Amino acid sequence: MDAIFKKENVYVAIVDKDIQEGLDKKELEGFICETYGDEDVHLYGGRVVIRPVSGDLRMTIDGVIISSLRANNVLTVYNYIDIQTCTAYLNQIENLGVDTFLENFKKQLLAFKDEIIELTNKYEQEQSIKFDDNVSKKLDSLRKTLLELSMALFFLMVNLNAGLENQTYIDTYNTIVNQYFD
């Protein structure tokens, strides 16, 4: 089982461990989610949603997908994150709040976008001097990544801070859910 637990306001990732016989994972104290589960988990008044996706997790915050970047031969943006990254993000959210996490995430994406633009310009200059098929493939990958980063940044910038204390949002959400839903 690969799962996330929360105990004493700290999220931890449990990786490659078998659950004890006779225990139901959903009844375990602090169980949040697992990578091969089948249910979405709503945290922080529904602002953060975690969905299991084939051994990884998709995290959305206020409807914005938190992406990960991976580089093999090409740089690719994925709409899911591994369990350790998700746990680290949840701990940041727990300690800093949802809005601060989003602001920090946006700043990191902007800085990374600037690096990609600089690298793209360098490769374009090389291509103008002498065409190289390998550099052309790298340029295509970088341009695709720039497009995906721009879309992610657009959604982050459109996401307006409501100006509410996170706890106020959570309390209001819980009140409505307890009052009107099973």
Per-residue pLDDT of the chain (182 residues; tens, 9 = 90+): 899 999 888 999 988 888 777 777 777 888 999 898 889 999 998 999 999 998 999 999 988 889 887 766 566 778 899 999 999 999 999 999 998 898 888 888 888 888 889 989 999 998 998 888 888 888 888 888 888 878 777 766 665 455 555 666 667 767 777 776 65
Domain ranges of the chain: 3-175
Q: Strand pairing partners for 77?
A: 69
What is residue 160's predicted lDDT score, i.e. its pLDDT? Answer: 47
* Closest among 34, 84, 74 to 54, alpha carbons compared: 34
Predicted TM-score (pTM) of this structure = 0.76
Measured CA distances, 86 to 5, 29, 43, 80 (Å): 12, 19, 13, 9
* Closest among 179, 30, 128 to 13, alpha carbons compared: 30
What is residue 181's predicted lDDT score, i.e. its pLDDT? Answer: 64
> CB 111: neighbour CB atoms within 10 A?
10
What is residue 27's predicted lDDT score, i.e. its pLDDT? Answer: 75
> CB 30: neighbour CB atoms within 10 A?
13
Measured CA distances, 91 to 8, 28, 101, 106 (Å): 11, 20, 10, 17
Contact 50, 86 (CB under 8 A): yes
What is residue 169's predicted lDDT score, i.e. its pLDDT? Answer: 61
Angle at 46 between CA 42 and CA 49, to 5 degrees: 45
